[in-house]
Amino acid sequence: MPPSAFDRLSPEVQRWVWQQKWQRLRDVQEKAIPAVLRGGDVVISAKTAAGKTEAAMLPLLTRVLAKDNRDGFSVLYVSPLKALINDQFRRLESLCEACDIQLHKWHGDVSSDAKARARKRPSGIVLITPESLEALLVRRGREVRFLFSSLDAVVIDELHAFIGSERGMQLQSILKRIEIACGRDRIDRIGLSATLGDMNLAADALRPAEGALVTQIHGEDESNGVKLQIRGYYTREPKSGAVARESDDDLDDSETENDDAEVHGIPDRLASDVFRLLRGKRNLMFGGSRQRVELFADRLRRMCEEHRVPNEFFPHHG
């Protein structure tokens, strides 16, 4: 009888799963773990909160733990938004700690000192945006081989956000440049998405001209069962004579000192959550008044422009 997906994981990863008190692996994890352990390109699609991140990271960490030499970054985790990186960092922190594998955030809000320490002794997993990765290649081109020559895989989160866009072409170029700079024919790519209508199109986007070689995994799980979520946000009255900020570059949910930051009466955290959770799906959002609807639509449109993704937020007055 062949070993189960769980049995193929390293003892450290198994121990972490036990500590989470999971009764079983999700369907997408059962299917993805053997595929990722075999190596090669993989597209993983499942409903929101069905466990896609763990479906990729549990076997990848198992692969990293099996290596004799862990110098250099082992996994490059590319995400389109800083807010998603911050969320994934919190999500993966205990898992990486249990495996004694370093986890790094890398985007515009991370201090230069933290980045310098990671560059000096690269190892483990780095969570990064395409723009930060591009800047790293441009400014530190001579360090690319030192940083990435030992990569086991590149994980692309929210793969659908990159398909058919300039940002997607930019990312493909970046990944190819890394492979060439490191003298590697190919580095495994793993795409994650909850909204993939055409898996073949996604496979072609993950590995251009070689989509037929990409393993496709589609999870049949239901989501985590959450039907209603209530969140509260601090708001404040604008000071007399205050001028609203024209830019909203900080989408970092972990910045507690900016809890009350807002533009046009919309807290940054609220705008960030709406953008992160609703983008890429069909939703109807009630703003409470015509004015609020217009303010939300304008704020979210500007966030789409800042992140160079198509605008999906439009006002509607019944």
Per residue in 278-288, pLDDT tens? 887 778 888 87
| Whole-angstrom distance, CA of residue 291 vs CA of residue 61 | 49
Residues 237 and 95 in one domain: no
Cα angle 106, 133, 74 (rounded to 5 degrees) comes to: 70
Residues 139 and 174 in one domain: yes
Within-domain flag for 223: no
Within-domain flag for 62: yes
Task: Mention every residue, 6+ apart, whose C-beta is less than 8 A from residue 99.
Answer: 10, 12, 13, 16, 61, 64, 65
Which of 218, 251, 282 is at the close of a domain?
Answer: 218
Which of 191, 218, 245 is at the close of a domain?
Answer: 218
Beta strands in the chain (DSSP E): 42-45, 72-78, 103-106, 123-128, 153-156, 188-193, 215-218, 262-263, 266-267
Within-domain flag for 175: yes
77-86, 126-135, 223-232: the lowest-pLDDT one = 223-232
Among 125, 63, 137, 86, which residue's Cα sits nearest to residue 276?
Answer: 86
Which of 218, 237, 269 is at the close of a domain?
Answer: 218
Q: Pick 220 or 259 by higher pLDDT.
A: 220
Tell me: pLDDT of 256 over 70: no
| Whole-angstrom distance, CA of residue 197 vs CA of residue 107 | 30
25: DSSP letter: -
Residues 206 and 242 in one domain: no
Residues 251 and 130 in one domain: no
Residues 302 and 208 in one domain: no
Within-domain flag for 204: yes
Beta strands in 93-185 (DSSP E): 103-106, 123-128, 153-156
Answer whether 89's CB lies under 8 Å from 258's CB. no
pLDDT in tens, 164-219: 888 899 999 999 999 999 999 999 999 998 766 788 999 999 999 999 999 999 98
Residues 188 and 308 in one domain: no
Tell me which residue range forms the domain holding 249: 228-318
Residues 252 and 175 in one domain: no
Residues 253 and 164 in one domain: no
What are the percentages of helix, strand and coil residues in the chain, rounded to 5? 45, 10, 45
Tell me: pLDDT of 269 over 90: no
Q: Pick 291 or 59 by higher pLDDT.
A: 59
Residues 244 and 211 in one domain: no
Confidence of residue 138 (pLDDT cuts 50, 70, 90): very high
Within-domain flag for 118: yes
Confidence of residue 306 (pLDDT cuts 50, 70, 90): confident
Total of domains in the chain: 2
pTM of the model: 0.72
